[in-house]
Amino acid sequence: MRQRAGGAIARRRREPGLTLADVAREMEVSDGYVWKLEKGLVNLENVSYQRLLALMKALRWTLEEFTQATGVAVPGLTTEETPGVPPVPLKESEEYLVLGLPGLEVDPRDLRALTHRGGFVVYREGEEPEPGELAVAEPRERDAPLSPVRFLGLNSRRSYVVETLGCPTERRTLEKGNGLLHRVVGEVRIWG
Lowest mean pLDDT among 35-44, 156-165, 166-175: 166-175
Which tens digits make up the pLDDT trace of 118-154? 677 888 887 889 999 999 888 887 677 888 899 999 8
Which tens digits make up the pLDDT trace of 59-78? 888 777 888 888 877 654 54
Secondary structure of the chain: what % helix, strand, coil (to 5)?
Answer: 30, 30, 45
* Of residues 146 and 49, more confidently modeled: 146
Contact 148, 135 (CB under 8 A): yes
Q: What is the DSSP string of 70-116?
A: H--PPTT---S-BTTB---PPPTT-EEE---BTTB---TTTEEEEEE
Determine if the pTM surpasses 0.75. Answer: no
